[in-house]
Amino acid sequence: NAGVTQTPKFQVLKTGQSMTLQCAQDMNHNSMYWYRQDPGMGLRLIYYSASEGTTDKGEVPNGYNVSRLNKREFSLRLESAAPSQTSVYFCASTLTQNYGYTFGSGTRLTVV
């Protein structure tokens, strides 16, 4: 049972490049989330998906897009990377609010 799998684990981008962060869960969870974690800022919600086919903005959505491809997969896309998007990105999923989140191992992204 892999839980939540994120790829890649590390990435360096040049300003203006695009990339997609992949996330898949095998726990049959309904809800999936993308957070970024920056020093001194804590975890901030970028986008979330309460169910297959639905997505909503979180606290810091600018510069990002998401796709809930199916119940298992939730991807995060940076169309034109900026240095301000240098961060650690975590994908998470949950069955219901009573169970808390299961996090992936994270993607450490550096934009130069």
Partner 1 sequence: QKEVEQNSGPLSVPEGAIASLNCTYSDRGSQSFFWYRQYSGKSPELIMFIYSNGDKEDGRFTAQLNKASQYVSLLIRDSQPSDSATYLCAVTQGGSEKLVFGKGTKLTVNP
Could you list the residues that contact partner 1 (CB under 8 A)?
31, 33, 35, 40-45, 48, 50, 58-59, 90, 94, 96-106
Q: What residue type is assigned to position 90 of the chain?
A: F
- Which CB atom, from 10 or from 14, has the smaller least distance to partner 1? 10
For residue 31, how many other CB atoms are within 10 A of its CB?
18
Q: Give the shortest CB-77-to-partner 1 separation in angstroms.
A: 21
Q: To the nearest whole angstrom, how small is the minimum distance from the Cβ of residue 80 to partner 1?
A: 26
24 strand-pairing partners: 5, 73
Half-sphere exposure (Cβ direction) of 46: Cα atoms closer than 13 Å: 26
Nearer to partner 1, 17 or 45 (CB): 45
Q: Would you say 42 or 53 has its CB closer to partner 1?
A: 42
- Short-list 79, 80, 72, CA closest to 24: 72
Which residue is associated with the tokens 């998007």?
Answer: 85
In angstroms, what is the minimal distance from the CB of 4 to partner 1?
9
